[in-house]
Amino acid sequence: MTAAAAAAPPRPILEARGASRIYRLPRTRPFARREELAAVRDVTLVLHPGEALGIVGESGSGKSTLTRLLVGEERPSAGEVRFNGVDIWDRHDDRARRDLRRRVQIVMQNPRMSMDPRLTVGASLMEPLRSLRIAGDHEARVVEVLEQVGMSRAALNKYPHQFSGGQMQRLAIARALAPRPEVLIADEPVSALDVSIQAQVLNLIKSLVRDLGLGLVLIAHDLAVVAYATSRVMVMAGGLVVEEAPPAELFRRPRAPETRELVEAVMTVEAGLQGRALARHPG
């Protein structure tokens, strides 16, 4: 390898460059001017292959809107989203956006809402392989990913109502992995689950992305959740990125007031849990 090649920084796989998303709100009365809301403002995000990036912020800070921009579900009002260096909304070339549909997969907050209750799990998990026109034996691929998430092939012929919330989220993760993505985006993947199984599902995501070498964008309102599974965290507030640092740094030296609040929220929960533990085991 030449010195120049060794020194070249790796190319980001997914980027937002100065991306904004402005929504026009419905009129409050006839002929009134429609107000605008900037849900995401001038956000720059860079994800390298295999990297785990966290996005944290309170409700309404713009996390899910940013996610929709990153997966190409919505178009930025300003700025760009790039996949492998190519603007996914390039008028002359829709290859980057088509590519992104397979290579970036998403896991949502509520696994029940993300799966059709009338379809068997097998049908739901094979559907993306069919619509993305992926070659090969779809059923064999689905059985393979079921094993990766700790479920058996018996799940294939069952229906969503036959599974617990945690199992459903495992199935949703399996469905996301089936098309062999390079990036996994998880938007509040554990916040709808029982506290007792949140750690299991988070551990599963963490070990899968590591073993498969995937990039991860993990979104949560809880700083402890993103800190546990990522090496760099962006803090959002009011559509803006107010701080970006490794998680340990955010805990040690939070600079933005919004970061400080998120750190305090974690401390409060921990103090509460310790208080409970102490109450249970006096002395």
Ligand X SMILES: Nc1ncnc2c1ncn2[C@@H]1O[C@H](COP(=O)(O)OP(=O)(O)OP(=O)(O)O)[C@@H](O)[C@H]1O
Task: Give the residues lining the site for Mg ion (CB under 5 A).
Answer: 63-64
Q: For residue 46, how many other CB atoms are within 10 A of its CB? A: 15
Instruction: Indicate the DSSP class of residue 73.
Output: S
65 binds ligand X (CB under 6 A): yes
Residue 56 or 145 having the CB closest to Mg ion: 56
Residue 160 one-letter amino acid: P
**Contact predicate 166/201, CB 8 Å:** yes
Size of the site for ligand X (CB under 6 A): 12
**Contact predicate 162/124, CB 8 Å:** no
196 binds ligand X (CB under 6 A): no
Which residues lie across from 36 on neighbouring strands? 24
Tokens of 253: 């030296």
Choosing from 82, 103, 141, 221, the residue that interacts with ligand X (CB under 6 A) is 221
165 binds ligand X (CB under 6 A): no
63 binds ligand X (CB under 6 A): yes
From the list Mg ion, ligand X, none, pick the one residue 28 interacts with, judged by a Cβ distance below 5 to 8 Å according to partner type.
none
23 binds ligand X (CB under 6 A): yes
Tokens of 267: 């401390």
41 binds ligand X (CB under 6 A): no
Q: Which residue blocks in 41-91 are alpha helix, DSSP H?
A: 63-70
**Contact predicate 159/120, CB 8 Å:** yes
Task: From 123, 162, 163, select the one nearest 142 (Cα to Cα).
Answer: 123
Q: Which residue is nearest to Mg ion (CB)?
A: 64
**What's the min distance (Å) between Cβ of 145 and Mg ion?**
25
Residue 177 or 237 having the CB closest to ligand X: 237
**Contact predicate 34/25, CB 8 Å:** yes
From the list Mg ion, ligand X, none, pick the one residue 2 interacts with, judged by a Cβ distance below 5 to 8 Å according to partner type.
none
Q: CA Rg, the chain, in Å?
A: 20
62 binds ligand X (CB under 6 A): yes
Residue 142 or 234 having the CB closest to ligand X: 234
**What's the min distance (Å) between Cβ of 22 and ligand X?**
9
60 binds ligand X (CB under 6 A): yes
Residue 114 or 124 having the CB closest to ligand X: 114
- Scanning residues 67 to 86, which ones bind ligand X (CB under 6 A)? none
- Pairing of β 215-220 and β 52-56: parallel
**What's the min distance (Å) between Cβ of 12 and Mg ion?**
23
Choosing from 13, 14, 16, 39, the residue that interacts with ligand X (CB under 6 A) is 39
> Which residue matches tokens 């750690």?
199
59 binds ligand X (CB under 6 A): yes
Q: 252: helix, coil or strand?
A: helix
> Which residue matches tokens 């860079």?
46
What distance in Å separates the CA atoms of residue 32 and residue 162, rounded to the nearest whole number?
Answer: 49
Task: From 235, 261, 220, select the one nearest 108 (Cα to Cα).
Answer: 220
57 binds ligand X (CB under 6 A): yes
Residue 175 or 221 having the CB closest to ligand X: 221
Residues near ligand X (CB under 6 A) are 23, 37, 39, 57, 59-65, 221
